[in-house]
Structure 1
Amino acid sequence: MGRTVTVATCALNQWAMDFDGNLERILKSIEIAKNEKARYRVGPELEICGYGCSDHYYESDTLLHSFQVLRKLLESPVSQDIICDVGMPVMHRNVRYNCRVIFLNRKILLIRPKMALANTGNYREMRWFTPWSRSRNVEEYFLPRIIQEVTLQESVPIGDAVLSTLDTCIGTEICEELWIPTSPHIEMGIDGVEIFTNSSASHHVLGKAHTRVELVNSATAKNGGIYLLANQKGCDGDRLYYDGCAMIAMNGSTIAQGVQFSLDDVEVLVATLDLEDVRSYRAEISSRNLEASKVTPYPRIKVHFALSCSDDICTPTNEPIQWKYHSLPEEISLGPACWLWDYLRRSKQGGFLLPLSGGVDSSATACIVYSMCCQVCYAVENGNQSVLDDVRKIVNDEAYIPTESQELCRRILTTCYMASENSSQETHNNAKSLAGEIGSYHININIDGAVKAIWGIFSTITGRLPQYRVDGGSVRENLALQNVQARIRMVFAYLFAQLSLWTRGMPGGLLVLGSANVDESLWGYYTKYDCSSADINPIGGISKADLKTFIQYCIENFHLMSLKGILSAPPTAELEPMKKGHIVQTDEADMGMTYAELSVYGKLRKIAKAGPYTMFCKLITVWKDFCSPREVASKVKHFFRMYSVNRHKMTTLTPSYHAANYSPDDNRFDLRPFLYNSSWSWQFRCIDEQVSKLETKDHKLEDVV
Structure 2
Amino acid sequence: MERNFTNLSDFGYFRVSAVSPELRVANVHFNVEQILQSLKLLDEKSVQIAVFPELCLTGYTCGDLFFQETLLAEVKKGLEKLVEESSKFNLIFIVGFPLRVESKLYNCAGIVGNGKLYGVVPKTYIPNTREFYEKRWFGSNLQTRIISLFEENVPFGNDLVFISEDNSEISFGVEICQDLWAVEPISTKLANLGAKLIFNLSASDEWIGKAEYRRNLVLSQSARLNCGYIYAGSGPWESTTDMVFSGHCIIAENGKLLAESRNFSFKTEYVVSDIDIQLLTKERNYNDTFSSSDLSMTSKVSVKLRDLNTVDFFRKVRKHPFIPEDLLERASVCNEVFNIQSTGLARRLLQIKSKDVVIGVSGGLDSTLALLVCIETFRKLDFPLSGIHAIIMPGFGTSKKTFTNARQLCQLLGLSVEVIDIKKSVALHLNEIDVDIKEQNLVFENAQARERTQILMDLANKYNGIVVGTGDLSEIALGWSTYNADHMSMYNVNAGIPKTLVRFVIDWASDNLFDNRVRKVLKNILALPSTPELLQSDGKEINQVTEEIVGPFELNDFFMYYSVRYGFSPKKIFYLAKVAFSECYSDMEIYKWLVNYYKRFFVNQFKRSCMPDGPKVGAIDLSPRGNWRMPSDAEYEIWTKELENIKSKV
Q: Which of the five TM-score ranges fits, normalised by the shorter chain?
A: 0.3 to 0.5
- Structure number with greater Rg is 2
TM-score normalized by structure 1? 0.44
TM-score normalized by structure 2? 0.47
